[in-house]
Amino acid sequence: MRKDVSVMWYRIGLIVVAAVGVCALPAGAAKKEKLVVGFSQVGAESAWRTAETESIRNEAAKRGVELKFADAQGKQENQVQALRSFIAQHVDAIILAPKVETGWESVLKDARRAKIPVILVDRGINVSDNMLYTTLIASDFVAEGRMAGEWLAKKMDGKGNIVELQGTPGAAPAIDRQKGFAEIIAKFPDMKIIKSQTGDFNRAKGKETMEAFIKADGKNINALYAHNDDMALGAIQAIEEAGMKPGTDITIVSIDGVKGAFEAMVDGKLNCTVECNPLLGPAAFDAVEAALDGKALEKKTIVKDSIFDQSQAAGVIGSRQY
């Protein structure tokens, strides 16, 4: 008798579990499974990049996505290795912030073979077949270079010697920001780019390269164009250490719009920054979800940027998000 009762309860239990299981699996339940996304980041060379990483991490947490994060410490080979490891782990999608434009063909072919969508954020790449990635979400770096050039030409009345701190060699923003800026400066015969060298998008290298510029050209330098704010901030230190006044003796325009740049503008040491929005997390995960839903995506989404100079800095610094 005792045995019969327990068998009965066991059977009732099975029916209840089965019923609950069915109720908990409504139509489209597959979408509710936890997504696993791999994110390969270049490194942490600038405040901009740290803000981009945080934006992607925060958005993943907000959406309940498991994020596998790989910091490549500035090395493309580490990024390729991270991608291979994501593929081996069968992630649902990959977000890639590529260091440079070239060298991605082979690993992206592997991702395609594994049917893993690859979302590029912030920097573009050069591949023979653009079906090797799903979409790119980035700023228009050529336009940013042009904005910086136009602002500087106006400020300098179309005259002056400029030194340029380039970003990482081979990186899309370094190539395009140089191009856009040069295009504008070429229209002003009395404006010359007298030196142009890499500062690798970081503060220490920006300072070091600016020291070399000052050593070679000293008081001949009227303006500095830096491909990002971190290099400009390093250069500001070099200018001060050389006994000159940044923002006065040397007019400085850079790109990114990070908090540190606004602080330097409020202090009168930086003259202008062109904003490049790093808060790409929401758009990146919208793209991941759309790709996994089989929706067609634009090949490129351009993030809108603005420009801020010293006169606006104090008014907007409090509302800056990064």
Instruction: Say how many residues make up the chain.
Output: 322
- Burial string for 183-200 (b: 16+ CB within 10 Å, else e) reads ebbeebeebebbbbebbb
Size of the site for ligand AHR (CB under 6 A): 13
> Shortest gap between Cβ of 202 and ligand AHR (angstroms)?
8
Contact pick of 228, 271, 277, 310 for ligand AHR (by CB under 6 A): 228
234 binds ligand AHR (CB under 6 A): no
**Residue placing its CB nearer to ligand AHR in the complex, 123 or 207:** 123
Please, which of residues 282-301 interact with ligand AHR by CB under 6 A? none
* All residues at 6 or more sequence positions from 313 whose CB lies less than 8 Å from its CB, including other chains: 262, 265, 266
53 binds ligand AHR (CB under 6 A): no
Contact pick of 118, 210, 276, 313 for ligand AHR (by CB under 6 A): 276
Q: Which stretch binds ligand AHR (CB under 6 A): 12-20, 45-53, 157-165, 233-241?
A: 45-53
> Shortest gap between Cβ of 111 and ligand AHR (angstroms)?
21
> Shortest gap between Cβ of 172 and ligand AHR (angstroms)?
7
Build a one-symbol-per-residue string for 103-132: x at contacts with ligand AHR by CB under 6 A, - elsewhere.
Answer: -------------------xx---------
| Nearest alpha-carbon partner for 222 in 271, 167, 275 | 271
Q: Which stretch binds ligand AHR (CB under 6 A): 33-41, 44-52, 85-93, 187-195?
A: 44-52
Q: Is there a contact between 239 and 272 (Cβ–Cβ < 8 Å)? A: no
For 241, half-sphere exposure in the C-beta direction (CA atoms, 13 angstrom radius) is 13
**Residue placing its CB nearer to ligand AHR in the complex, 51 or 163:** 51
With H, G, I as helix, E, B as strand and everything else as coil, classify residue 165: strand
| Nearest alpha-carbon partner for 45 in 69, 68, 73 | 73
Give the residue ranges of DSSP H helices in the chain. Answer: 2-23, 47-62, 76-88, 105-113, 141-155, 172-185, 203-217, 229-241, 259-266, 281-292, 310-316
State the pairing for strand pair 135-139/36-41: unpaired
Q: Is there a contact between 180 and 149 (Cβ–Cβ < 8 Å)? A: yes
**Residue placing its CB nearer to ligand AHR in the complex, 161 or 202:** 202
Contact pick of 41, 46, 79, 251 for ligand AHR (by CB under 6 A): 46
Name the site residues for ligand AHR (rule: CB under 6 A). 45-46, 48-49, 122-123, 173, 201, 228, 230, 255-256, 276
